[in-house]
């Protein structure tokens, strides 16, 4: 375990990655002793409000995380760090982001859950930008210069104050994962009276089955089963706070708006109470496994996969056909999933797909026809990336097959 004491004693010399979480109120000068090697610095979960004016002395620094601290502005010194390309300042009290704080080479910028009202007008100079997370701020618009962010692939705008959909995003050639729910221009949440409402007192929660940014999924049984649901169910209890994708209430709304589909985890009922809400779902059979793993610091926006995972082209085609049908279903319901990734897909041994996690989903039926078409084009681009990922898992002997060639024309790499 890395500690400040070990750092001061010189026991961490030569390391490339440093993580310190010790209620720090000041940047430890001893970090500069690592200037020749340090590439990743994580000072999240401290009490920092400033960085030193000579931070650029860390000449190898590529990645900096300072989430859950006390910054009120994004430090301008960041712009002087010649190799810094990934910046994460989630959950601070940042109100101001200056142009000087954004290095030209920025690829990954996470500013979720702050108090930002505007971005610099010259954001369009960030031509390498791929991932931009801005959910949970006070933004009312985006700079028009962002039409120049031609490599942008993922953006999170949920839970802000946008009065209108930012049209400058619609023609970005690589944008594939977009979330914008919880803004004033969005359609109101639906009560979804077609689904039964139950109470937490009706349910007994047992072991945790999984958890994500927006909530915890547990096995549950009924204390009172008034609607003859299966005795064992899964219950996702939402955390009730803004996440990297937006408000949990919008996730519940979008999930119920999509409704039932053979390749979706089955929604059964909802819990809506003053202090928290939940979704009651059918249990997923134990033999289902995750198709992929989330993106890494290296892959940025793209999923990662086990090096031992390979499929026949027939199985790949079957998987893609099911996801195709799902995307068409979303389109019919005017819901953009916003997170069409293999890591959100469960798969059985025979290749049956189950899809879930609507944390980044957004309803768009109230927007103009041109905006709706643009959003659907973005979702189709995510499907193209997914097809590219699936073809990368194809066994070598099938890469000359007609089926592979047919799918290859749809890939987006």
For 122, the domain range is 1-152
Residue 77, domain member (yes or no): yes
Final residue before a domain boundary, out of 259, 281, 303:
281
Q: Are residues 19 and 136 in the same domain?
A: yes
Instruction: Tell me: do 275 and 293 sit in the same domain.
Output: no
Q: Domain count for the chain, please give it.
A: 3
pLDDT of 318 reads 97
Whether 109 and 9 map to the same domain: the answer is yes
> Block means of pLDDT (10 residues each) for the chain, length 413 residues?
90 96 97 97 98 98 98 98 98 98 98 98 98 98 98 98 98 97 96 93 93 88 93 90 88 94 94 87 92 94 95 97 97 97 95 92 98 98 97 96 93 81
Same domain, 226 and 295: no
Residue of 379, 374, 381 lying closest to 360 (CA atoms): 379
Q: Is residue 242 domain-shared with residue 312, that is, in the same domain?
A: no
Feature table: binding site for ATP? 236
Query: Do 12 and 131 belong together in one domain?
Result: yes
pLDDT at 203: 95
Do 263 and 387 lie in a common domain? no
**1 and 148 in a common domain:** yes
Whether residue 248 is found in the same domain as residue 339: no
How far is residue 172's CA from residue 165's CA, in Å, rounded to a whole number? 14
The whole-number pLDDT of residue 308 equals 94
**Residue-level pLDDT at 212:** 78
Residues marked as binding? Answer: 236
- Is residue 27 a part of any domain in this protein? yes
pLDDT at 1 (0 to 100):
86
Specify the pTM.
0.95
Same domain flag for 242 and 302: no
Question: Is 402 found in the same domain as 340?
Answer: yes
Domain membership of residue 190 (yes or no) is no
Q: Are 75 and 66 in contact (CB under 8 A)?
A: no
């Amino acid at each position: 375990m890395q500690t400040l004491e070990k750092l001061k004693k010189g026991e961490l010399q030569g390391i490339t990655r440093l993580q310190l979480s010790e209620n720090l109120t000041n940047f430890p000068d001893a970090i500069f002793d690592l200037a020749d090697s340090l590439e990743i610095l994580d000072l999240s979960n401290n009490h920092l409000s400033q960085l030193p004016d000579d931070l650029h002395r860390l000449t190898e620094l590529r990645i900096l995380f300072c989430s859950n601290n006390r910054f009120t502005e994004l430090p301008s010194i960041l712009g002087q760090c010649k190799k810094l390309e990934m910046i994460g300042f989630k959950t601070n009290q940042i109100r101001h982001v200056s142009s000087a704080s954004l290095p030209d080479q920025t690829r990954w910028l996470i500013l979720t859950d702050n108090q930002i009202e505007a971005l610099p007008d010259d954001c369009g100079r960030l031509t390498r930008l791929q991932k931009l997370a801005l959910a949970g701020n006070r933004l009312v618009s985006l700079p028009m210069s962002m039409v120049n962010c031609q490599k942008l692939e993922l953006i999170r705008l949920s839970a802000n104050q946008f009065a209108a959909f930012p049209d400058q995003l619609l023609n970005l050639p690589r944008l594939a994962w977009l979330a914008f729910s919880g803004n004033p221009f969005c359609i109101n949440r639906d009560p979804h009276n077609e689904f039964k409402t139950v109470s937490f007192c009706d349910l007994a929660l047992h072991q945790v089955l999984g958890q994500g940014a927006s909530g915890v999924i547990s096995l549950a049984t009924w204390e009172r089963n008034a609607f003859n649901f299966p005795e064992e169910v899964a219950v996702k209890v939402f955390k009730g706070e803004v996440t990297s994708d937006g408000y949990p209430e919008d996730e519940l709304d979008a999930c119920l708006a999509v409704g039932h589909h053979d390749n979706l985890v089955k929604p059964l009922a909802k819990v809506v109470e003053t202090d928290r809400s939940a979704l009651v779902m059918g249990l997923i059979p134990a033999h289902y496994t995750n198709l992929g793993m989330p993106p890494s610091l290296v892959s940025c926006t793209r999923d990662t996969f086990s090096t031992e995972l390979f499929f026949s082209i027939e199985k790949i085609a079957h998987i893609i056909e099911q996801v195709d049908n799902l995307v068409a279903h979303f389109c019919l319901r005017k819901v953009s999933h916003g997170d069409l990734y293999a890591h959100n897909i469960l798969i059985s041994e025979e290749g049956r797909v189950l899809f879930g996690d609507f944390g980044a989903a957004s309803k768009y039926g109230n927007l103009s026809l041109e905006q709706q078409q643009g959003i659907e084009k973005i979702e189709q681009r995510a499907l193209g990336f997914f097809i590219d990922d699936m073809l990368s898992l194809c066994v070598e002997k099938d890469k000359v097959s007609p089926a592979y060639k047919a799918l290859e024309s749809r890939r987006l790499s």
